[in-house]
Amino acid sequence: MTDNFYQVLGVPENASQDGIKKVYRKLAMQYHPDRNRGSKQAEERFKAISEAYDVLGDEKKRRQYDAMRRAGFGAGGFDGAQGFGTGARGRTYAGPGAGGEQAYTFEDLGGFSGFRDIFENMFRGQAGARQQGMRGGSGAHGRFDESDFGDEADEGRGNDIQLEMTIPFEVAVKGGRREFTFDKSGTCPNCGGNGAQPGTTPDVCPDCKGRGTVTVSQGNFGVQRICPKCGGRGRFIKSPCVVCRGTGVAVMPKTLTVKIPPGIKDGQIIRLAGEGNAGMHGGSSGDLLLHIRVAPHLFFRRDGDKIIIDKVIDIATAVLGGETKVPTLDGELKLKIPAGTQSGTVFRLKGLGVARRGGLQGDQNVIVKVSTPRNLTQKQKELFEEFAKESGLKT
């Protein structure tokens, strides 16, 4: 990972403090180990992001960082592979002491793996400085701390659950209730969420004494690192819960009944707040998102708030008029067919369509299709010919 902290966060060098903070929040949420369990790449990315923001997120540190870059640590920034850029050897840089009386000679800084260690040590102990970006940030069991993000983000929030639900055509039109069962993570019922096997409690980490970090000596400097024993949490679980393995959450089946609003369309989403996966370390639960799929009907179809159906009538009814039975979602009704009805004529059944806002109801359209008779007997053919001649349809 490059030691150019601007490149790590993906922000320009003239970015505002608010802009840097906003980008950091987004990246930290994306790559936090709690949301990428088992991903070494995400863990390393999160650590780099935290280190970069530890500097750029503090105006004083940022000014001193920019000054050090201008002092000659190689063209274009710092080289993370070599530790220092060309031309740095022998130069001095005034440290954070008043008046610049405290100076560091770069050639005396043997034993460091790169610029991060130097800079981290220089500002260790400054008022308001974070420890490694976020406490526990780079550990496999790192945790979210709301104080690192502010009120704009709920970083401990559980993940949303996405599910598909197929409902009958009639339920989509009229609404109803559907019961379903799904798997979700919740507070572990065995340990109550603390991660320790019942009968035991988490202890203060003996290595870091609850701080989450330890100091490692490198040459003439002491460098703070995430505590390897507790992963930065400050506490150590000797007997992890056998159900959740120390995470505090467990996956369990849950049954819910959801209310389907009348008139819902295929592809719409119903959001059930707080019914997603449980949050980490007391964070709020995510939401459950139900993607609705409407099953096709045998003969009804939908166009907006209209229900459409094709109705086949015989030629005698079309010519002479009469009645025919038409199915609706409320049962069958009789439709009067005027004499001389043409194929394709649309009859409107008012208020028998899809529910609309304000309590109104769409209509049902009946499209008449006239059926032409086949396999006529000789007598039937003669009668039709006589009819055609008398009506002027055939000469």
CATH fold, domain 5-148, is Helix Hairpins (1.10.287)
- Distance CA(262)–CA(174), nearest Å, equals 5
Predicted local distance difference test score (pLDDT) of residue 42: 83
Predicted local distance difference test score (pLDDT) of residue 385: 87
What's the pLDDT tens digit per position in 215-248? Answer: 877 666 666 777 877 766 677 788 888 888 777 7
Average pLDDT (66-83) is 51
In degrees and rounded to multiples of 5, residue 166 shows phi and psi of -95, 130
Are 250 and 189 contacting, i.e. CB atoms less than 8 angstroms apart?
yes
Average pLDDT (107-131) is 40
Which tokens belong to 344? 């394709």
Average pLDDT (364-387) is 90
DSSP code at position 107: G
- Distance CA(141)–CA(248), nearest Å, equals 12
Instruction: Give 241-254 as a DSSP string.
Output: -TTTTTSSEEEEEE
Predicted local distance difference test score (pLDDT) of residue 333: 95
Q: Averaging pLDDT over each range in 22-31, 41-50, 365-374, which range is the top one?
A: 365-374
- Distance CA(318)–CA(392), nearest Å, equals 18
CATH 1.10.287.110-classified regions of the chain:
5-148
CATH 2.60.260.20-classified regions of the chain:
161-197+246-294, 301-390
Task: Quote the distance between the C-alpha of residue 356 and its chain's center.
Answer: 30
Please state which CATH number belongs to domain 161-197+246-294. 2.60.260.20
Class of domain 301-390: mainly beta
DSSP code at position 323: E
Task: Quote the distance between the C-alpha of residue 365 and its chain's center.
Answer: 41
